Amino acid sequence: MSKKVTVIEPTQKNETIEESKLRVCAYCRVSSIHEEQLNSFSNQVTHYTQYINSNQNWYFVGIYADEGISGTSKEKRTDFMRLINDCECGLIDLVITKSISRFARNTADCIEVVRKLKEIGIGVFFEKENINTLSEESELVLSILSSIAQEEMISLSKNIRWANQRRYSQGKFQIAPKKFLGYDVDPVKQTLVINQEEAKLVKYIFEQYLSGKGTAVIARELNQKGIPTITNATWQGSTINRMVKNEKYCGDVLMQKTITGDEITFKRKRNKGEQPQYYIKDNHEPIISREDFERAQKLSIERRLAKGLTEDVAKKMQNRYPLTSKIICGKCGCILRRTTQNSGTTYPRVAWDCSSKRRTYGTTKCKGGSIHDDSITKLTIVVLKKLYFSLDNLLVPYRSTLRNIEKLKDNKEIAEYDLQIQQVISQMRVLADLSAKGNLTPMLYTAQNNELCAKMDELKKRKQVLADKYFSTIRNLNDTDKIISRLKDTQGVIPSLDKELVDAIIDTIIVYSRNNIVFKLKNGIELPEKIGD
């Protein structure tokens, strides 16, 4: 018996890459900043711009490119990550790249990204291997070729390591001055030369460290003064710690401080003796004298040994007194240290003296006076009690003000920046459309696109300034809540100083003189006080 079969025609057309007009982009990368590599990079950009525009079935989206960046890990490549994000936003249908090794030299990364894009219907075409990841057999072939690419990378890594060690043994090395405060590189001689303006900050940091300040205190003060790092980031204690240990500041160079940890992720790690190191003494002009640099290393070791005590003893040393590391000299900015003097007195005299007064470093010593421990302790208790009894007149209204500011996070100025950023994005899309239709030359497209990118970066920076102010308000609001809570817990009864209470409320106490003492609270409030007669 014959069966009648009715064919139900598909309601959606199953288009192939050749049958539909695809939004196509290209990804390019070179792994070093040498001139020949950058020429190759420029050639790749030109080639793919013309190649995509020449296909009538393709819509040119743009070029994503990373210059002078290793391909061992996708997280290091900013434009690669931007490409993935645009794919997820539905802006791209097909990605073209030169080869697997240009796309990823880590098998796990390559397979992960390809699968991720394939799941949302986006293909990657590897020109050299002639693989389109939307085809059924692509993953097996891709897996094999990616493994080969990774093995090639491992072999290349070993060759580079051998070449680097040979250069080190000959006293040749490379330094990135953009991440190194205090020095520039002479473009002709390729030697380190002092950047006089930056060197002032280096000297200041060493002076503060040798005066007795901790790395965290120095970092905090630099941030409060609005001084950025060489990379325009905020200062951290770890950053100061690395600086005072950097042998280049005394004119020496230690090579191969870090090594490749493994041959899968190619992450760098400290060289703790696994491979040889190379040391050159008096390689360039020093910023810090060798004597002062060695004193800094000795001080660093002493502090590290102190931290190496048992946990209970170390904690006791750190929190020995409630005002430790809180009192700052108003004349030089150094911390005041607690001292006990027995000579010439019936009872031991306990006071806080500027740490720079006892230093041997430098020629100028601070002329700031000392303050009796009993006097500053009583004054601090008075300030804490004043804060408790002025909760309704000072802290609560201040909190209300901060809350009102916090509600303005979506103010008109931020909204205006958002609108301008969206306008720039629209202009970039129009530019890409004009380029796809052949109304712009690749050179003109690249120039105008770069101009728009720079404009968008500037808008984002300005918006970030407002955002930083907002987050500062949030921090002050949270600190105010904590201060109010801790003060209420005391019920106004503070017979003696408690370190936890002091740490929760007071940031620093700046002593200019007995009649001019400023208490800086954690939430940004400053209270002027003086010691009575």
Give the 3-state secondary structure of 256-320.
CCEEECCCCCCCEEECCCCCCCEEECCCCCCCCCHHHHHHHHHHHHHHHHHHCCCHHHHHHHHCC
pLDDT 10s digits, 85-139: 888 888 899 999 988 777 765 666 777 788 888 888 899 998 887 888 887 666 6
* Token duo for residue 396: 């609560």
Annotate 108-141 with b (16+ C-beta within 10 A) or e (fewer).
Answer: ebbbebbeebeeeebbbbbeebebebbeeebbeb
Sign of the C-alpha dihedral computed for residues 450, 453, 455 and 461 taken in this order: negative
SS3 55: coil
* Token duo for residue 342: 């027995």
Low-confidence ranges of the chain (pLDDT < 70): 1-20, 30-42, 67-76, 104-108, 136-179, 258-269, 271-275, 305-320, 341-348, 357-365, 368-369, 406-412, 436, 467, 471, 532-533
Which pLDDT value is given to residue 111?
75
| Phi, psi for residue 510 in degrees, rounded to 5 | -100, 120
Report the percent of the chain where pLDDT is more than 70.
70
| Phi, psi for residue 454 in degrees, rounded to 5 | -65, -40
Which pLDDT value is given to residue 6?
64
Element (H, E) at 101: helix 100-103
* Token duo for residue 101: 């090794």
CA distance 298 to 447: 54
How many other C-beta atoms lie within 10 A of the C-beta of residue 29? Answer: 24
DSSP 8-state code for residue 335: B
Please name which of 166, 162, 205, 161 lies closest in space to residue 182, comparing C-alpha atoms: 205
Radius of gyration of the chain (CA): 31
Sign of the C-alpha dihedral computed for residues 486, 491, 492 and 498 taken in this order: negative
Which pLDDT value is given to residue 407?
65
CA angle at 298 for the pair 293 and 303, rounded to the nearest 5°: 125
Q: Where are the beta strands (DSSP E) in 152-231?
A: 183-185, 192-194
CA distance 322 to 314: 15
Which pLDDT value is given to residue 384?
93
Spatial contact of 514 and 371, defined as CB atoms under 8 Å apart: yes
Residues in the chain: 533
β-bridge partners, 335: 328
Which pLDDT value is given to residue 38?
44
Which pLDDT value is given to residue 311?
42
CA distance 126 to 330: 65
Which pLDDT value is given to residue 101?
72
Spatial contact of 438 and 55, defined as CB atoms under 8 Å apart: no
What dihedral angle (degrees, nearest 10) is formed by the CA atoms of 40, 46, 50, 51?
A: 20
